[in-house]
Chain A
Amino acid sequence: MATEAVAPRRSVGHRLAGLFNGRPRLQVGALLAGPVGWLVIGYLGSLAVLLVAAFWTVDPLSGELVHSLSLENFKTLVDEPVYRDIVGRTVLIAALVTVTDAILAFPIAFYMAKIASRRGKAILVVAVLLPLWSSYLVKVLSWRTMLSSDGIINWALEPLGLHGPGYGNTAVWLVMSYLWLPYMVLPIYAGLERIPNSLISASEDLGASPFTTFRRVILPLSFPAVVAGSIFTFALTLGDYITPRLVSNNQFIGNVIFNNISTNLPLASALALVPIVVMVAYLLVARKLGAFEHI
């Protein structure tokens, strides 16, 4: 009985195998059809639809979309000073967060890669990854509580006669720097791991001071890793809208998109183009700096 049931299925499999045999292009094609189809239709396709909407307008009376090409939304973005402020603020905070994370992450990553024992290394990797196991919202809301005027930060600073930053741009910068730090530590750690210790020894043997070794050997070799990490921190900050909402009153690009998405989809789409353009420019610079050479 069992053999009877199995036999026909086998022959189909055999026939299929025969079809693919000796046809490498067909093999690759069948293997990639699913993922590539998903990427092109599901992802790039929907992105294209979104961007097309940037050229539409909204009928002021009914609020319905007018499907005809117009550059009105882009004109609004350029002409209204408020949008320039918002874009400037978002890019500036993203850059600040990136620089902060790079400065904080480098020593941590260096210690993990070059100094810590194997056991210590494992513990540190877990410690860096641990915050990623808890919800993003929980972390932002904890910061909200800490930064409030009765919060622990003001309580700790009070004896020194100081006052915490409260809610605002500084708070956004602090929270974002905290949130995205692991995304900077891990690429730098991986980059530093790849630098052979013999290069550092050689530099020392040739009489270079530790600072020179760092400047001439370690930094150039690990720089692509820093740039790779910065892509994460920069892009994640650029797109976030919940943190600004919870710890400041300021609008970032994401907030304005969120506010407009249901009343003025075309304007929201036009705004969505801004981070894409900024990110493409950033990636081009990153490629020039060699961030993708080891990927």
Chain B
Amino acid sequence: MTKQRTHSARTAWLIVAGLLAFMLLLAGCGSSSDDGGGGKELTKLGKGEGQVDLISWGGYVEPAWSKPFEQKTGCKVNNKVAGTSDEMVQLMRTGQYDGVSASGNATARLVDGGDVDPVNVDLVPNYKTIFSDLKDQPYNTFDGVHYGIPHARGANLLMWNDDDVKPAPTSWDVILDPKKAAEYKGKISAYDDPIYIADAAVYLKAHQPDLGIESPYELNEEQFEAAVNLLKEQRPLVGEYWSDLTKQISAFANGDSEVGTTWQYQYFALLEEGKPMAASPASQGFLPSEGATGWSDTWMISNQAKHPNCMYMWMDWIVSPKVNAEVSEVFGEAPSQSLACDQTADKEFCTKYHADNPGFWKRVYYWETPVADCGNGSSDCKDYNDWVQAWTSIKG
């Protein structure tokens, strides 16, 4: 018995030692294959390659408009749905995809990492009629070079239950000012993502001007700390952090949440269920006094795209008026194509989502990737990795 045990113990140690050696071997020779990225854009559209491999948000590539695309171009659509911006970046780095519908908090990372190529907008005829305030934005155009085609946009609204929250709030202070927010302790709903730190920065930009915040995505040490501390004070008051929208809809419908940040989609979904929801009215420009964060998604093309012609055809297809109207209505966001507003099934759709109201979008800070080198020359901004670490410490 004892002899057997020592024998098996020795075997176990041998296995452990072998694994350790294997690990060290791997750690030692882990090669870093870096290529600086292309910078080459397509100059002439050729024949389709027969298929296109996409990464997209759920609801962006649906058979209703991808099947007609296949019939028209002969490019078979293979779609991979990603859950977060981080996942999209990760998937694009595998080099197995032709393109991605990246939000602004992913685009700079993809460009910096050399994972995407510039887009020749002349090869995308429908680009011309895209809302002009979506073009040449800092998250889709870098050093004057276009890196993508705007897909659609949305804003993070302040939503509240009209029966419970009185008087109607006009500012984010109802959930971010520690004193005012205390009244709704345990009933506040906040977005569960590091990018939510930008919401605190938008609030501080208006309420603490001496911090000197310009963009909520370019925060130096002091500004970043102020935003993080504000969210740490908010933490005990938050009833629920939401990341998937069905979770938030159920929380507001049950009365677990009464006030918080939301997307237009959840707001209209709850109204349709007959819940007494309210959001900032037209008299306030549909947004709280500080403005709000939002997102604008961009179709980008991989620098390792195996089917670039099909990808260009897809980028043109998805912003064509009829398709852009369909995809926007399914997802619940404002179309990027100005001609799409005539094609929506719900004729009020563009008005509801403020698609053709540039004044509304002027007060929206679209998601961007926080990077250290933020244009002030000193590279002292907090990068996205810092944001993720801070988010962990905020939630505790």
Q: Is the CB of B26 within 8 A of A52?
A: yes
Known: A49-B26, A60-B385. A251 touches B392 (CB 8 A): yes
A144-155 to B contact mask, C-beta < 8 Å, 1/0 = 110011110000
CB distance from A92 to the nearest CB of B (A): 14
Does any Cβ of A come within 8 Å of B395's Cβ?
Answer: yes
Hey, which chain A residues are within 8 Å of B395, CB to CB? 249-251
Does any Cβ of A come within 8 Å of B383's Cβ?
Answer: yes
Which among B22, B34, B384 is the interface contact of A64 at CB below 8 angstroms?
B34
Minimal Cβ-Cβ distance residue in A for B21: A48
Hey, which chain B residues are within 8 Å of A249, CB to CB? 238-241, 395
Does any Cβ of B come within 8 Å of A80's Cβ?
Answer: yes
Q: Is the CB of B255 within 8 A of A259?
A: no
Find residues 241-295 in chain A having any chain B CB closer than 8 Å to their own CB: 245-246, 249-251, 256, 259-264
**In the bound complex, what is the Cα–Cα distance between A166 and B84 (angstroms)?**
28
CB distance from B89 to the nearest CB of A (A): 7
Does any Cβ of A come within 8 Å of B2's Cβ?
Answer: no
Does any Cβ of B come within 8 Å of A56's Cβ?
Answer: yes
**In the bound complex, what is the Cα–Cα distance between A58 and B371 (angstroms)?**
14
Q: Is the CB of A63 within 8 A of B396?
A: no
CB distance from A163 to the nearest CB of B (A): 12
Does any Cβ of A come within 8 Å of B31's Cβ?
Answer: yes
Known: A69-B27, A262-B87. A63 touches B247 (CB 8 A): no
Hey, which chain B residues are within 8 Å of A83, CB to CB? 392
**In the bound complex, what is the Cα–Cα distance between A283 and B373 (angstroms)?**
48
Does any Cβ of B come within 8 Å of A235's Cβ?
Answer: no
Using C-beta atoms within 8 Å of the partner chain, give the interface range for chain A: 35 or more
Does any Cβ of A come within 8 Å of B254's Cβ?
Answer: yes
CB distance from B35 to the nearest CB of A (A): 11
**In the bound complex, what is the Cα–Cα distance between A143 and B385 (angstroms)?**
34
Hey, which chain B residues are within 8 Å of A58, CB to CB? 385
Does any Cβ of A come within 8 Å of B113's Cβ?
Answer: yes
Does any Cβ of A come within 8 Å of B32's Cβ?
Answer: yes
Q: Is the CB of B31 within 8 A of A67?
A: yes
CB distance from A241 to the nearest CB of B (A): 12
Does any Cβ of B come within 8 Å of A33's Cβ?
Answer: no
Hey, which chain A residues are within 8 Å of B348, CB to CB? none
**In the bound complex, what is the Cα–Cα distance between A145 and B246 (angstroms)?**
13
CB distance from B327 to the nearest CB of A (A): 25
Which among B31, B34, B392 is the interface contact of A259 at CB below 8 angstroms?
B392
Known: A61-B373, A62-B112. A56 touches B30 (CB 8 A): yes
A59-78 to B contact mask, C-beta < 8 Å, 1/0 = 01111111101000000100
Known: A51-B23, A149-B255, A262-B86. A60 touches B383 (CB 8 A): yes
Hey, which chain B residues are within 8 Å of A204, CB to CB? none
Minimal Cβ-Cβ distance residue in A for B247: A246
Does any Cβ of A come within 8 Å of B372's Cβ?
Answer: yes
Query: Among B34, B87, B113, B392, which residue has the most Cβ atoms of chain A within 10 A?
Result: B392
Find residues 224-274 in chain B having any chain A CB closer than 8 Å to their own CB: 238-241, 243, 247, 250-251, 254-256
Minimal Cβ-Cβ distance residue in A for B84: A262
Does any Cβ of A come within 8 Å of B393's Cβ?
Answer: yes
**In the bound complex, what is the Cα–Cα distance between A151 and B254 (angstroms)?**
8
CB distance from B300 to the nearest CB of A (A): 16
**In the bound complex, what is the Cα–Cα distance between A112 and B23 (angstroms)?**
47
**In the bound complex, what is the Cα–Cα distance between A251 and B383 (angstroms)?**
22
Q: Is the CB of A80 within 8 A of B27?
A: no
Does any Cβ of B come within 8 Å of A158's Cβ?
Answer: no
**In the bound complex, what is the Cα–Cα distance between A146 and B255 (angstroms)?**
13
Q: Is the CB of A263 within 8 A of B393?
A: no
Does any Cβ of B come within 8 Å of A103's Cβ?
Answer: no
Does any Cβ of A come within 8 Å of B391's Cβ?
Answer: yes
Hey, which chain A residues are within 8 Å of B145, CB to CB? none
Known: A52-B27, A249-B241, A264-B388. A66 touches B32 (CB 8 A): yes
Hey, which chain A residues are within 8 Å of B256, CB to CB? 148-150, 167
CB distance from A28 to the nearest CB of B (A): 15
Q: Is the CB of A63 within 8 A of B109?
A: yes
CB distance from B245 to the nearest CB of A (A): 14
- Residue pairs across A and B with Cβ atoms less than 8 A apart, 29 shown, are A49-B26, A51-B23, A52-B23, A56-B27, A60-B385, A61-B373, A62-B114, A63-B89, A64-B34, A64-B113, A65-B32, A85-B396, A86-B392, A145-B254, A148-B250, A148-B251, A148-B254, A148-B255, A149-B255, A150-B254, A166-B186, A249-B239, A250-B395, A259-B194, A259-B391, A260-B388, A260-B392, A262-B89, A263-B385
Chain A contact residues, CB within 8 Å of chain B: 44-45, 48-49, 51-52, 55-56, 58, 60-67, 69, 76, 80, 82-83, 85-86, 144-145, 148-151, 166-167, 245-246, 249-251, 256, 259-264
What are the 7 A-B residue pairs with the smallest beta carbon separation, nearest first?
A67-B30, A262-B86, A82-B393, A148-B254, A262-B90, A52-B27, A52-B26
Further 14 A-B residue pairs, CB within 8 A, beyond A64-B113, A261-B86 = A49-B26, A61-B371, A61-B372, A61-B383, A63-B384, A67-B31, A80-B389, A82-B392, A86-B396, A145-B254, A148-B255, A249-B238, A249-B241, A259-B392
